């Protein structure tokens, strides 16, 4: 399961809660719509259709004059004069010319109360039918909803199942299905009758819906407000929880930062309303105490370890010094055998290391190879007979071939020493020339390692300024002139030669010529 931040969890609860409330409101609205629709259908069947059927039967029975005794019938001639009493009723029909029609307003003619007057055409005149309010109230129910007989010309209630609505003007909003009657709003439905300007209307006041839907509304409202309050209290709890966590975590972060920085920590638990958070803080206190103890123990171990490391480093230095002394003694033994080379290797070590640094070499392994390579470059001369080494005249070809073996002998001597592969490379190739005329392998250019070229450069220079059995020592200027005229471009590259001159000039300024004298 993916981990969630507390703030993200609160947002999710709010989102899901909002979606739940939205869904509840949607279901409530759909349910309310369906219930209202069912209520309308019930009232329509029970009130409006019943009233319509009653009037349909009443109007169909008028021609046979078999009607309820409460209904008053008058036979009129073509001029709307009562055939029996000769009373003129033309005033009632002045506003209409299409029959049957509702005429004469809502006031009764013969009825003691209000009534509806309808004129039906006949072959020899007209028939005036007066329907009293008492008849309408008796045959059309009106307890929860109201059935109205409306004069559509005047928008006036002529008969009503609730008598106090008679004579009231009605305002109908057909788009919204709302009717305003006597200051009351309600939903309505109109049904046409066989009388041109008479319409039957079902009026259901809003108060009726409230009474009928009260149980549904009460239960739904309690459920909705319950869900809202539940979401509110959950969010309030989550916010308090988040505030408590934020405060505690801020304190924890401060103390852990001190721990990382090596400072002393002192975390004091903060009392909150959440017991689990209080327990967490107590656990953190125990962890910090354990961390302090571990830090102290580790500090003690580190001090002990550092002492051991210091001892090892000192021992290593001593070993390195002794190793160098042994190697130096070996080099000196070679020089003792080779007359005229005393101090040669020591001078080479110093000049070779300075030249390496001038050329940008900083790798410790390379510098070590150059140092010991310079010191032991002629170690192979141990295998060369002394009469060849110390011969005062030019060597014969056979003797020179024997002398050319000393780099190979030297490589064999040091190659078996672990980690001295680079030193062996210097010893074998310090007599190679960049033009390929050197020995023992006849390497050219970049085939010769830079470390071997450095030692070769220093070896030639120091050899030229030293006395040898077969010639006298040259001055520094003479030696440089010989190298520049006869060896640059053949034995050495111009780059290495120029770097060597810079090193030599700097050392001469700093130390004079004493560092080049025999030791």
- Report yes or no: 451 and 373 within 8 Å, Cβ to Cβ: yes
Angle formed at CA 309 by CA 305 and CA 310, multiple of 5 degrees: 115
pLDDT score of 158 more than 70: yes
* pTM as predicted: 0.42
Whole-angstrom distance, CA of residue 241 vs CA of residue 245: 6
Q: Determine the Cα–Cα distance for residues 53 and 47; give it in Å rounded to an integer.
A: 10
CATH number of the domain at 338-516, out of 3.40.50.150, 1.10.3210.10, 2.40.50.320, 3.30.160.70?
1.10.3210.10
Q: What is the pLDDT of residue 71?
A: 85
Of 125-139, 374-388, 441-455, the range with the highest mean pLDDT is 441-455
Q: What's the mean per-residue pLDDT of the chain?
A: 80
Angle (nearest 5°) at CA 33 between 27 and 37: 145
Residues of the chain with CATH 1.10.3210.10: 338-516
Which bin fits 65, alpha (ψ -120 to 50), beta or left (φ > 0)? left
Predicted confidence band of residue 2 (pLDDT cuts 50, 70, 90): very low
For residue 100, whether the previous peptide bond is cis, meaning omega lies within 30 degrees of 0, is: yes
Q: How far apart are CA 376 and CA 288, in angstroms?
A: 60
Q: Going by C-beta distance under 8 Å and a sequence separation of 6 or more, which residues neighbour residue 129? A: 62, 67, 71, 72, 73, 117, 118, 119, 120
pLDDT band, very low/low/confident/very high, at 267 (cuts 50, 70, 90): low
Indicate the burial class of 157 (C-beta count within 10 angstroms; 0-12, 13-18, 19 or more): buried
What letters, b where the CB count within 10 A reaches 16 and e where it falls short, cover 313-339? eeeeeeeeeeeeeebbebbbebbeebe
Q: What is the 3-state secondary structure (H, E, C) of 342-379?
A: CCHHHHHHHHHHHHHHHCCCCCHHHHHHHHHHHHCCCH
CA atoms of 500 and 350, how far apart (whole Å): 12
Share of the chain above pLDDT 90, in %: 20
Q: For residue 330, what pLDDT is reported?
A: 62
The mean pLDDT of 445-473, rounded to a whole number, is 89
State the Cα–Cα distance between residues 457 and 350, nearest whole angstrom. Answer: 13
Q: How far is CA 2 from CA 10, 149, 167, in A?
A: 15, 70, 73
Please state the rounded mean pLDDT for residues 93-119: 79
Residue 172 or 417, more confident = 417
* pLDDT tens digits, one per residue of 299-327: 788 887 887 777 767 766 665 665 666 66
Q: Is the peptide bond before 279 cis (omega within 30 degrees of 0)?
A: no
Q: Which residue has the higher pLDDT, 175 or 473?
A: 473
């Amino acid at each position: 399961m993916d981990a969630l931040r507390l703030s993200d969890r609160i947002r999710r609860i709010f989102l899901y809660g909002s979606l739940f409330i939205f869904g509840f409101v949607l279901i409530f609205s759909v349910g309310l719509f369906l219930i209202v629709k069912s209520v309308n259908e019930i009232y329509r069947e029970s009130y409006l259709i019943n009233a319509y059927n009653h009037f349909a039967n009443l109007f169909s029975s008028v021609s046979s004059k078999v009607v309820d005794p409460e209904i008053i019938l008058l036979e009129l001639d073509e001029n709307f004069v009562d055939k029996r009493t000769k009373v003129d009723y033309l005033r009632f029909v002045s506003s209409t010319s299409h029959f049957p029609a509702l005429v004469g307003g809502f006031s009764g003619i013969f009825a003691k109360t209000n009534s509806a007057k309808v004129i039906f055409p006949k072959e020899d005149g007209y028939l005036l039918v007066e329907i009293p309010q008492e008849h309408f109230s008796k045959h059309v129910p009106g307890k929860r909803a109201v059935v109205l007989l409306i004069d559509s010309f005047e928008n006036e209630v002529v008969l009503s199942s609730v008598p106090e609505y008679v004579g009231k003007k009605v305002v109908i909003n057909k788009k919204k299905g709302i009717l305003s009657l006597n200051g009351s709003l309600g939903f309505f439905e109109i049904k046409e009758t066989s009388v041109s300007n008479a319409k039957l209307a079902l009026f259901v006041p809003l108060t009726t819906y409230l009474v009928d839907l009260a149980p549904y509304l009460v239960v739904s409202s309690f459920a909705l407000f319950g869900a809202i309050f539940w979401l509110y209290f959950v969010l309030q709890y989550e916010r308090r929880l988040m505030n408590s966590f934020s405060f505690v975590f801020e304190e924890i972060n401060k103390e852990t930062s001190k721990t990382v920085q090596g400072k002393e920590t002192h975390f004091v638990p903060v009392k909150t309303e959440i017991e689990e958070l209080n327990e967490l803080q107590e656990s953190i206190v125990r962890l910090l105490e354990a961390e302090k103890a571990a830090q102290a123990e580790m500090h003690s171990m580190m001090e002990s370890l550092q002492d051991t490391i210091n001892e090892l480093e000192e021992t290593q230095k001593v070993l390195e010094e002794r190793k160098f002394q042994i190697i130096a003694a070996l080099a000196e033994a070679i020089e003792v055998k080779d007359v005229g080379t005393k101090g040669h290797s020591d001078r080479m070590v110093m000049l070779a290391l300075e030249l390496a640094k001038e050329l940008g070499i900083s790798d410790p392994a390379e510098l070590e190879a150059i140092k010991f390579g310079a010191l032991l470059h002629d170690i192979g001369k141990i295998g060369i007979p002394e009469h060849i080494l110390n011969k005062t005249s030019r060597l014969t070809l056979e003797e020179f071939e024997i002398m050319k073996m000393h780099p190979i002998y030297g490589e064999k001597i040091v190659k078996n020493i672990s980690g001295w592969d680079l030193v062996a490379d210097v010893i074998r190739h310090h007599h190679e020339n960049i033009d390929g005329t050197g020995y023992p392998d006849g390497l050219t250019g970049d085939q010769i390692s830079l470390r071997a070229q450095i030692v070769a450069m220093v070896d030639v220079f120091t050899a030229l300024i030293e006395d040898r059995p077969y010639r006298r020592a040259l001055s520094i200027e003479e030696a440089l002139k010989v190298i520049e005229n006869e060896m640059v471009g053949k034995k050495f590259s111009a780059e290495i030669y120029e770097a060597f001159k810079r090193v030599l000039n700097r050392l001469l300024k700093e130390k004079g010529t004493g560092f080049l004298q025999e030791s």
